[in-house]
Amino acid sequence: MRRVIIVGATGSIGRQAIDVVARHADRFSIAGLSAHSDEGGLLAAASRFRGAALCLSSRAPDSGAIAFHGPDGLRSLVRDTEADLVLNAAAGAAGLSVSFDALASGKDLALANKETIVMAGRLAFEAAGEAGRRILPVDSEHSAIFNMIERFGRDAVRGVVITASGGAFRDDPLESLPGKMPADALAHPTWSMGAKITVDSASMANKGLEVIEAARLFGLSGDRIDVVLHPESRVHSFIRTRDGSLYAQMSRPDMRIPILNALAWPESIDESVADMDPCDVFLRFSRPDPARYPLLRTAYEALASGEGATDAYNAANEVAVASFMGGAIRFTDIAVVVSRTLERAYPRTLEGLEAVLAVDGDARRVAASIVKEIA
């Protein structure tokens, strides 16, 4: 029985992870659950799992059933609760400390928080090595690559191809993009996700972050990572082996599969939610238009510039997306804010979390000043 702590239990990934645990109660149990501010959702989730430790990370709870609260409470939940694995589904840079606390306390890390790797990937893997634990990707694309590399062996893989849906504005005229509203960006054609990542899908900043994440997770240079548009979202990634062949992972677009694979690794568990009939699937692939998705190109540039630039890319994008969602800037201004933030020089390597957080804070201040200029 593998004991699991879910951080971000009331979000999209967290809710699906709870469903995975419930579907496979003979394999998994819930040791702890946390939510940022949704106390009602946290209590509802906990009602299915007696004895789970609970944390509300934003404030003191109203309910006495929630033993931990605030950032210190979250740290205690992750570090001190007896468990085998932490699923980090916290949103944004706020999830960074969760990842390091999980590893430091001797737990495997199932990672849906891509910012951990984008901001501090090398440091995270050093921490995992010191603790003798594994980092297991939960993003559907990286889960697919991880599982194929585990089967083929890293030395057999020459490169990877990450697929992208293209987001809500994939087929809209370019001239219409400046007028898009937050509600428009949240109308994703395939996936049901949180608000920030859904906006990132429309701009393809999420794919830029995934390119950076793939480079750090699998030791690949940017020229070994390709991105293609795939509207059907049935192929989640390819690997290219040394002989040039492509191997794909295919399934219905259901996040419960990569979650299950991360929780169960290295075992395989019977499940049917991703089953599909290949005769019912029509597959299309195309190159992303740089004019429609400038943030993808910017991510490759940041990756080439080093750890400080990728840290700043993530920070500036978080500021820009929040400003767009708040009505301060246009959708197309998100890319402007990020690219202008990256005009500054950032360190090629970041030694320690203090350096990571210093660059993150500096980039956020720069991005916020650019937002003010634009607004």
Q: Per-residue confidence at 276, pLDDT binned at 50, 70, 90?
A: confident
Torsion sign (Cα): 162, 165, 169, 172? positive
When computed from its CA atoms, the radius of gyration of the chain, rounded to whole angstroms, is: 20
Structure tokens at 173: 């005229």
Q: Report the chain's mean pLDDT, rounded to a whole number.
A: 94
Proportion of the chain above pLDDT 70, given as a percent: 98
Quote the pTM value: 0.92
pLDDT at 108: 98
Q: What is the mean pLDDT of residues 301-318?
A: 97
pLDDT digits (tens, 9 = 90+) for 81-122: 999 999 999 987 778 999 999 999 999 999 999 889 999 999
| In contact, 306 and 346? CB cutoff 8 Å | yes
Span 359-368, average pLDDT: 97
What span, in angstroms and rounded, lies between the C-alpha atoms of 14 and 26? Answer: 19
Q: What are the pLDDT digits (tens) for 51-85?
A: 999 999 999 999 989 999 999 999 999 999 999 99
Q: Render pLDDT for 4-38 as a digit per residue (tens, 0 to 9).
A: 999 999 998 999 999 999 999 999 999 999 999 99
Side by side, which strands form the sheet with 225-229? 225-229, 157-164, 235-241, 246-250
Alpha-helical (H) ranges within 52-203 are 70-80, 96-104, 115-131, 140-152, 182-185, 195-203
Least Cα distance to 148 among 164, 160, 138, 139 occurs for 160
Residue 191 reports pLDDT greater than 60: no
